[in-house]
Structure 1
Amino acid sequence: MRNTILAFFILLSSSIFSQKLLKGVVRDVENEAVFAANVYLKNNQEIGRTTNFNGKFELRLTKENINDTLVISFIGYNIKEIPLSSISYEKTIVIILKKNSLALQEVIIKAREPISEQFSVTKLEMLDIYLNPVSNGDPLKAITSLPASTNMDETANPSLRGSSGDRTRVIFNGIPIYRPVRNSQINGIGHFSLFNTAIIDKQYIYASNPPLTYGNTSAGLIEIETIKKLNFNQLSLSAGLAHAGVFVSQKIRKKSFLQVYGNYQNSEAFLSINGKSLPQLKSFGSKDVGINLHSDFGKQTTFNFYSYGIVEDYRVNVTAFTFKGDAYGDKIRNFNIINFSHIFKNGRIAFNNGTNFSRSAFKYGNMSSKNERHQVYSSIDYKWYGINKLNIQFGLNHDYGKSIFRDSTPVFYYALSPESPNYYSDTTIITHNIEAYYYFSWEIAKKLLLSNGVRTNILVYKQKSYLSYQFSLKYKISRKQSLLLSGGKYHNYSIPNYYSKTYNLLNSKQLALDYAYADKKTLITAAVFYKDEAGERINNEFFQINHSYTAGVELYFESFFMKYFKFSLANTYLNQKIEIEGEKYNGEKNLKYFIKSSLSYNNPNLFNIAVTYITRPGKYYTPVVNSSYNELVDFYGPFYNNDINSRQYEGYNNMSISLSRYFQFMKKSMIVFVSINNILNSKNQSDVFYNFDYSKHFYDHYQQRTIYFGAVWQMNY
C-alpha cells in the first residue's frame, strides 16, 4: 500500500513538473490592454484563452507543445505569431499588437464606417454597453446614462435633448426600426429594446442634428451596426429570475459566420419576489428568436441577413381618469434586413432592404384596439472618396407603411368602464415616402472638418414637399480636444397610434455646440443647444402643440482612477416652453437639473460593482380643477386648468446597485450577477388619477425596489 501511494505521488509530481505555465499580457502600441484577444497554439487550437479586462492570459503547456507557435489575434490588428521555443517562462511576456495598416484594408474600413462618424457625439461598442451600470446589457437602455438622454419614463425608448421619442429614429444595419422596444403598451412605451447586444459591433448616437444620410428623424439618431468578423465560435447559455436564453456563434467558412439566439421570458418567479414593489404589474411574457448571417466574398463584397421574431403579452392594472381595471396586450412581430455592398477603389455601393410586420391587440375597459402594421424600406447608397480628403455620399430610399386599426373608442373619453358606450372604427392608413439626399464631409485643413447634407422628398402620395438641410463644422483643438458646431432643419413623419391615426409631418430647427476632451483616464464633454419643434400631437390630450422651444446645457465628467475605479457625473439643464394657439406654457421636460452619477469598481479577478444615482425634478402636468356629472353614463366629466402644465410631480430620486463576478476556466467562462433597482425604495410619482368626482387626487409611482439576478455561461471553441 505504501509503495502504491509513493508511486502515485511520483507520477503526479512528474506530470506537474512536465508542464510549463506561460503568463502574458496583450497590449496595443499605446500600451492599452487589449480585452478579449484570442491567444492559442497554431497546431493545437484547443489550447487557448481569451485575454481578460487587463489584457492578461495564462496557458499551461506540456512537453508536446513546446515546439508549437503561439498565435495572438484581435479584430482590426495584425495577427502575431511567436515560436514557443523563443519564450522565457520565468517572467510575464508582453505582446504588442499593431493595427492593420494595409492599403486595401484602410479603404475597406473607411468604406464601412459611416461617413458621418466624425460628427457623432458618442460611439458605444459592445463592451461599453455590457459595462454600462444602468444598461442591464440593453443597447438602448445604455443610452439613458448619457447627458443627452432625457428619457423620464424608465423605459428603453430613446428621447434625446428634450424631444419626444417619436422624433428620434433607431437605424439597424441601415434600416429604420420603428417602435424598437418590447413589452410595449398602447402608447408605444417599452421597457427593453428588441436588439441583442452580443451581435452589435458599434452604436453611434447623434444627440441632435442627425446626419441626413438617413431621413425621417427630426431630433436625434441612433445608428447600430452588427459585427462583421467573428473571432471565435461561441456557445452561451443565460438564465435569470425572469428569463432563459441561448446564443450560438458559428463560423461557416473562412469569411462567413452564423449567429442564432433565442430567449424565453416569464414573470412568475420575478413577481413572486418583486410583486409588492410592482402592484400594477400582473404578468408578462415573451418568446423571441434572432438569426444573423454574414458573408464576405473576397475583401470587397459583403452580404448580411438578419431576421428577428417575437411573441409577447402582458397584463397590468391601470387607472385612467376615475376608472381602474386590468389592461391586456399581446403582440407578434417579425422584421428582416438584407444588406449587400461592394467596395471599389474609390467608393462603395450599398443596397439595403427591410421588411417589418406586426399584429397587436389591446383591451382596457370599453377600449379595445387591434392593430396591424406593414413596412417595407429599400435604399441604395453610393459613397465616394475623392481627392483632397473630400468624401461624398448620395442615395435614394423608399419607405412604405401601412397601418390598419380596428378600434372600439369611448363615446365620452372619461367614461372607460366596460358598460360605458363606445363606437367602432375601421381605419387604414398608407404612406409612400421617397427621398433623395446627398451628404459630404471634407477635411478642409488638418484640424478642421466640414460636413453638409440635403434631403428632400419626391411627391407621390398626397404629401407636402419638404427640404431638410444641415451643416457641421468640427475643429480639433488638439489631439485630446474638439469642438463641434452643427445646425439645420429636419423633417419626419409621426408613427400612427390609437390616439392619432395619421402620419403627421413634424419638423424642427436645431443649433448645437459640443465640446469634448478625452485622454486615457478622463472624459469631459459639454454642450449648449437650441431647438424649435413643430407638429406634435399629445396622446390623451385635446390640443396640438404649435411649437416647442427647448434650450439646454449639458455637462459630463468621467474618470478612471486607482486602476479599477470609474466615476461619472452628468447634469442637464432644459428650459422648455410649448406654444398653443399663441400662448406659451411650461413644457413637460422643463428641467432645472437632471443629474446622473455612477461609481463602479471593475476588477475581473475579484468582482464588479456599480452604484448609480439619478435625480431630477418631476414632470409637469395639467391638473383637473372641476367636474360635472353626466347622468347618461353615470360618470363625472373633468374640467382641466386653462393654464396647461401648471403643476409638477414631486422630484425623482433613484439609487440602484449592480454586482457581478466573472469566472474563467480555459475557454469557458461564467458571469453571475445581481442588481437592485431603487434600493432606497423611493416613491417617485409617475401619473395622477382621481376619485369618482375628481374632488381628490392620488398618484401612481414608478418602479419601487426590485431585485434581479442570474448567470451567463459561455464557451469559446
Structure 2
Amino acid sequence: MALHTSLRVRLLLHSLAVLCLTTTAALAQMPATIRGTVADQTTGDLLLGATVRVAGQPASATATDLDGAFAVPYTPTAQPDTLVVSYVGYRPFRVVLRGVPAAPIAVRLVPASGLTLAQVEVTAKRPIAEDFIVRELDYLTIVTNPAAAADPLLAVRTLPAATTLDESASISLRGSDPTQTGIYLNNVPVYDAVKFAQLTGIGTFGIFSVDLVKSVLVFPSNPPLEFGNAGAGLISLTTDEQRRDKFVQASLGLANSGVLVGRPVGERGMFKAYVNAQNGQLLRAVNPASFRQLTRFGLVDGGAHFATKIGEYGTFKAFGYGLSERYAYRPSAGSPEAYRYRNLRGFYTLSYEQAWPHADLALSHGLGNRRAEDALGNYRTTRRFADYYAAAHYRRYWFDALSTRVGVSYDERRLHLAGQFPVRRDDMSATAPTYAAAFGQGRTLWEAYQYTKFTRGPWVVGAGLRLNALPRPAQPGYGSAQLNMRRNLNIRSFLNLSGGQYTSFTSPDPVYYGFLRTRIRQVALDYSAGSASPDGAILTAAIYAKQERSVLRTNLLGAEVFGQRTFFKRLRADLAAATMHAAPTHYDAADPDARVLALAQRRYDVRFQLKSTLKLVGKWGELGAFAQYRAGAPFTPVLGTTPDPATGSLLPQYAGEVNADYLPNYFRADLTASKFIRRQTNGNTLVLYAVCSNILNIRNVSGYSYTPDYTQALPNYFQRRLLYFGVVKTWQ
C-alpha cells in the first residue's frame, strides 16, 4: 500500500513538472508588449515619431505618439534579442532583451555629432552655424505649449529671448524691431509671415501650419550668414519629410476648423494638404465682451506639401500656400469709423538638398504674390507685393574638424501702392483733406557669402563674410561679418560668444518710406547647462549689446535667464526673466520724416519681463498654464495741441523726447486642457482641447487714441478673456 502511494506521488509530481514546463514553453511563445517613452537626453523633450522595433522581429516596428510613448509587440524567444530606437538627428539606442521588461523603458536619445556616412543626410539639412544655436522647437514642443495655440511663431514668442511688446506673431528678438527678424521656410525667406484676421483683430497668427513643420531653429542673436536680410535674429522652419501611412485629420472648433490629408507617394515620397477656415459667429456668441470692437472677421487658407528622397542622400521638397482673409475693426470704443482690411496671398517654395560623405549641396527657390486693401475714414489703399528668391549653397568638409560653406542668393521685392491718403498723417476722419497717389518701390539683393567652422577639443570657432555681390550706384556696396566661439564645458553645458555686423533692407511704412538699409552691430554671450537626467534642471543665461543704425540710431543692452525643472515626472515648470535698456532714439531733428518714424517705431526699453510655463501630465490628459508679467512699453503721449497755420485745425504736440513715457504694466495668464486618446486596434486618435486666454480678464493697455481736440486720451486694450475649444480626429 505504501508502495502504491509512493508511486502515485511520483506520478503526480512528474505530471506537475511536465505541465509547468509545457505551460512555461507556451507562455514563452505568447506575444507580450514592451512599453516605454522616448525623450531627448539633454532637454527631456518627448519625441514624436521615433521608430521603435525589435531587431529579430521586423514586423514589430512602431512609432512613438504625441506623448513620446510606444508599445511594441514582442514574442520572447530562447535567444536574446535587441530593442532598437532611432530618430533623425539622434544616435540609435539599443538594449538587449532577455525577456519581457517588468517596467516601462525610459529611452533617452543623444543628439548625433561628428560626420559619419549615416549622418550626412541629417547634416545636409542643418545650418553650418548649428553649434551656436540656442533653442530648437519641434512639433511636440509647439503643440503642447500652453501659449502657442499650435502656432510655430507664437511658440517662439514664449522663449526668454522673445521681446515682443504686443500679442502678435510678429516676433521681436532681444529688443530689435520684428522687421529685423528673418523668417525662412526651407531656406527661403518669407516676408510678412502673419495672418491679420485673428481672434481680436489687433494681433496676428503665423501662416505656418504646425502639422507640416518638423522643427523650428531660433537664433536670437547673430543670425547665420547663409541667411540674408536678417539683421537681429532668425527663425528657420523646416517642413516634415517623414513618410507615413495614409491618414485623414479633421478639426472642429470655435476658433478654427479644417481638414488635413496625407498619403505616401511612390516608394519614398510623402504628400500632405490642408485647408482651414475661420468664422467669427460662434466665437462671438461665446465671447461677446471680447469682440465689441471687432465687427467682422474670417479667413480661408490652405497649403500643400510634397517631399521625396532622391538617391541615397537627396531630398526634394515643394510647398504651396494660399490665403484669403478680411476683417473690420473699430480702433477705439465709440469710434465712428471702422478699419477695413482684405488680403489675398499666395506663394510657393522649392528646395533640393544632396549630401555626400564630405560635402553637401542645397538649392532653394521661392515666389510670392500678395494683394491687400485697407481703408479707414478718408484713407484707402490697394497694395500689390511680389517676391522672388533663389539661392545655392555648397559645403565642403575638409576633414571632420573643418568645414566651409559658400553660397550666392538673389532676393527681389516689388511693391506697387495706389490710393487716397490724408494730407495730415494723423487725421483720417472722413471729412479731412486728402490727395491721390500711386507709386512703386523695389529692391534687389545679389549677395554672396562664405562661412568656415573649425573644431578642436572643447572649442568650436566659426567666422564668415556676406557681401553685396553686384554693387551699383542705386545700391552701393555693403557687407556683413560674423564671428562665433563656443567652449564646451562638458557634454551638457557650454559658453558661446558671438558677434558681428549685419545688413538688412526693410520698409517700415511703404506709404512714406522706401526700403531703408539698417546696419546692426551686436555681441552676445550665452550659457547653457542641462542635467544628465531628463527630469533634471535646465539653465540658460545671456547678456547682449546692440547698435542699430538707419534713419534712426539706437543702442541697446539686455540680459536674460531661463530655468526649467520637472517634478514628480509629471509636472514641468519653467521661469524666464529678462531686462532690456534701449537708449533714447537719435535722429536728425531737421528731418520731419525721421521724427514721424521715431514716433511710430517702438522703443524696446523694458525694465523687467517675467514668463512662466507649467505643464501637468497624467493619464487623464494634460493641463497647461502660461503667464507673462512685464513693465509697460514706452510710448509718446500727446501733451497739448497747436493750430495748423495752413488749415486752422489742431495738431498734436508730443513730448520733446520720443517714447519717453511708459504704458501701465502688462500681465496675462492663459490656461489649456487637452486629452489625447489613441485606439490600439487601428491607431486612430482623438484630441479634445480647451483654451482660456487672459483668464483673469486683465485690461492691458496697448496704447491710446485721442478725441478730435486731443483733450481726452482713450485707452485701447489687448485681448480680453477669450474661451475656445475643439476636437481633432485622425483616421489612419
Q: TM-score range by the shorter chain?
A: 0.7 to 0.9
Aligned residue identity for 1:558: Q
Aligned residue identity for 1:278: F
Partner Cα distance (2:712, 2:586) in 1: 28
Aligned residue identity for 2:501: K
Partner Cα distance (1:79, 1:598) in 2: 31
Q: Matched residue of 1:292: which SS?
A: strand
Aligned residue identity for 1:673: Y
TM-score, normalising length: structure 1:
0.87
Q: Which residue of 1 aligns with 2:653?
A: 639
Q: Which residue of 1 aligns with 2:484?
A: 472
Is 1:600 matched up with 2:615?
Answer: yes
Structure 1 residues 13-70: Cα deviation after superposition (integer angstroms, max 9, x where no partner): xxxxx99663522558969876544568999979967456253427699xxxxxxx99
Change (3 A) 1:406 1:319: farther
- The within-5 A match list for 1:78-227 is 91=102, 94=105, 103-183=116-196, 190-227=203-240
Q: Which residue of 2 aligns with 1:24?
A: 35
Verify the 8 A CA contact 1:602 1:609 in the aligned structure 2: yes
- The within-5 A match list for 1:277-676 is 277-319=290-332, 324-387=336-399, 389-443=401-455, 445-457=456-468, 458-460=470-472, 462-495=474-507, 497-519=509-531, 520=534, 521-535=536-550, 544-545=551-552, 547-581=553-587, 588-603=603-618, 605-628=619-642, 635-666=649-680, 667-676=683-692
- The within-5 A match list for 1:35-50 is 35-37=48-50, 50=64
Q: Matched residue of 1:525: which SS?
A: strand
Q: Matched residue of 1:476: which SS?
A: strand
Aligned residue identity for 2:298: G
Structure 1 residues 347-372: Cα deviation after superposition (integer angstroms, max 9, x where no partner): 11221110010001001100011000
Q: Matched residue of 1:578: which SS?
A: coil
Verify the 8 A CA contact 2:124 2:353 in the aligned structure 1: no
Q: Which residue of 2 aligns with 1:267?
A: 280
Verify the 8 A CA contact 1:71 1:79 in the aligned structure 2: no
Structure 1 residues 304-323: Cα deviation after superposition (integer angstroms, max 9, x where no partner): 11111111111111249x96
Change (3 A) 1:74 1:254: farther
Is 1:702 matched up with 2:694?
Answer: no
Structure 1 residue 681: Cα displacement? 0.9
Partner Cα distance (1:344, 1:58) in 2: 34
Change (3 A) 1:497 1:128: same
Structure 1 residue 247: Cα displacement? 1.1
Change (3 A) 1:668 1:48: farther
Structure 1 residues 566-595: Cα deviation after superposition (integer angstroms, max 9, x where no partner): 111111111111332479999722111011
Q: Matched residue of 1:143: which SS?
A: helix
Verify the 8 A CA contact 1:607 1:661 in the aligned structure 2: yes
Aligned residue identity for 1:448: W
**Of the two, which has the highest radius of gyration?**
2
Aligned residue identity for 1:662: F
Verify the 8 A CA contact 2:52 2:72 in the aligned structure 1: no
Aligned residue identity for 2:688: V
Aligned residue identity for 1:626: G
Q: Matched residue of 2:585: which SS?
A: strand
Question: Which region of structure 1 is more displaced relative to structure 2, 95-104 or 105-114?
Answer: 95-104
Q: Which residue of 2 aligns with 1:680?
A: 696
Structure 1 residue 107: Cα displacement? 2.1
Verify the 8 A CA contact 2:38 2:109 in the aligned structure 1: no
Size of the aligned set, in residue pairs, is 679
Structure 1 residue 426: Cα displacement? 0.4
Partner Cα distance (1:431, 1:273) in 2: 46
Q: Matched residue of 2:141: which SS?
A: helix
Q: Which residue of 1 aligns with 2:24?
A: none
Verify the 8 A CA contact 2:48 2:66 in the aligned structure 1: yes
Verify the 8 A CA contact 1:366 1:418 in the aligned structure 2: yes
Change (3 A) 1:439 1:78: closer
Q: Which residue of 2 aligns with 1:3?
A: none
Q: Matched residue of 1:112: which SS?
A: coil
Verify the 8 A CA contact 1:278 1:703 in the aligned structure 2: no
Verify the 8 A CA contact 1:238 1:244 in the aligned structure 2: yes
Unaligned runs of 5+ in 1: 1-17, 62-68, 536-543
Change (3 A) 1:20 1:651: same
Aligned residue identity for 1:451: G
Q: Matched residue of 1:299: which SS?
A: coil
Structure 1 residue 373: Cα displacement? 0.5
Structure 1 residue 692: Cα displacement? 2.6
Q: Matched residue of 2:252: which SS?
A: strand
Unaligned runs of 5+ in 2: 1-28, 76-80, 590-594
Q: Matched residue of 2:337: which SS?
A: strand
Structure 1 residue 634: Cα displacement? 8.1
Aligned residue identity for 2:496: L
Verify the 8 A CA contact 1:38 1:231 in the aligned structure 2: no
Which residue of 243, 253, 258 corresponds with 1:230? 243
Structure 1 residues 486-521: Cα deviation after superposition (integer angstroms, max 9, x where no partner): 111110001364443411111111011111111232
Structure 1 residue 252: Cα displacement? 1.1
TM-score, normalising length: structure 2:
0.86
Partner Cα distance (2:144, 2:40) in 1: 24
Change (3 A) 1:430 1:473: same
Aligned residue identity for 2:505: Y
Partner Cα distance (1:96, 1:553) in 2: 35
Change (3 A) 1:565 1:408: same
Question: Which region of structure 1 is more displaced relative to structure 2, 42-51 or 227-236?
Answer: 42-51
Partner Cα distance (2:621, 2:261) in 1: 26
Change (3 A) 1:668 1:633: farther
Q: Matched residue of 1:146: which SS?
A: coil
Partner Cα distance (1:559, 1:351) in 2: 41
Q: Please give the root-mean-square deviation of Cα atoms over the aligned residues, in Å.
A: 3.4
Structure 1 residue 612: Cα displacement? 1.6
Structure 1 residue 643: Cα displacement? 2.6
Verify the 8 A CA contact 1:161 1:208 in the aligned structure 2: yes
Change (3 A) 1:71 1:495: farther
Structure 1 residue 440: Cα displacement? 1.3
Change (3 A) 1:694 1:174: same
Change (3 A) 1:72 1:239: farther
Change (3 A) 1:49 1:589: closer
Structure 1 residue 74: Cα displacement? 4.8
Structure 1 residue 618: Cα displacement? 1.0
Q: Which residue of 2 aligns with 1:65?
A: none
Structure 1 residue 231: Cα displacement? 4.0
Aligned residue identity for 1:595: L
Partner Cα distance (1:45, 1:287) in 2: 42
